[in-house]
């Protein structure tokens, strides 16, 4: 008789994310915790802002192509703005709006 072991993925059995040494949660931990919990009010206070920013980004890029999302992510990592944001800033002034 051969015994088989089945691993069940259960979020309640996973170790809960704990703050780093400086008392802050990492972005990955916050997003994992928010995905695990069903109610956003149960997320720790430091993570709420991270989760809300992530939801806003998802909503902002809802209709964008994968390429546009990737370009924005690369620009954000570099600390610059994306091509689309640059064009918007250069063309949306009060002078061009008056025309």
pLDDT, tens digit (0-9, with 9 covering 90-100), for 53-98: 888 888 878 888 888 888 888 888 888 887 777 888 888 766 655 5
Cα–Cα distance, 11 to 13 (Å, whole number) = 5
C-alpha distances in Å from residue 5, one per residue of 10, 14, 33: 15, 18, 27
Q: Is residue 79 part of a domain?
A: yes
Domain extent at residue 37 = 27-84
Domain count, the chain: 1
Q: Is residue 77 part of a domain?
A: yes
Q: Is residue 61 part of a domain?
A: yes
Closest CA to 51 of 59, 62, 40, 36: 40
pTM, 2 dp: 0.51
Q: Is residue 40 part of a domain?
A: yes
Q: Is residue 13 part of a domain?
A: no
Q: What percent of the chain has pLDDT over 90?
A: 0
Q: According to the model, what pLDDT value does residue 13 have?
A: 45
Q: Is 75 exposed, middle or buried (0-12, 13-18, 19+ CB in 10 A)?
A: middle
């Amino acid at each position: 008789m051969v015994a088989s072991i089945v691993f069940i993925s259960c979020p309640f059995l996973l170790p809960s994310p704990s703050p780093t040494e400086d008392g802050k949660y990492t972005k990955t931990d916050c997003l994992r915790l928010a995905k695990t919990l069903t109610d956003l009010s149960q997320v720790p206070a430091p993570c709420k802002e991270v989760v809300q920013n992530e939801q806003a980004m998802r909503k902002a890029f809802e209709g964008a192509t994968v390429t546009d999302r990737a370009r924005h992510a690369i620009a954000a990592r570099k600390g610059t703005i994306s091509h689309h944001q640059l064009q918007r800033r250069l063309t949306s002034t009060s002078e061009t709006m008056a025309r």
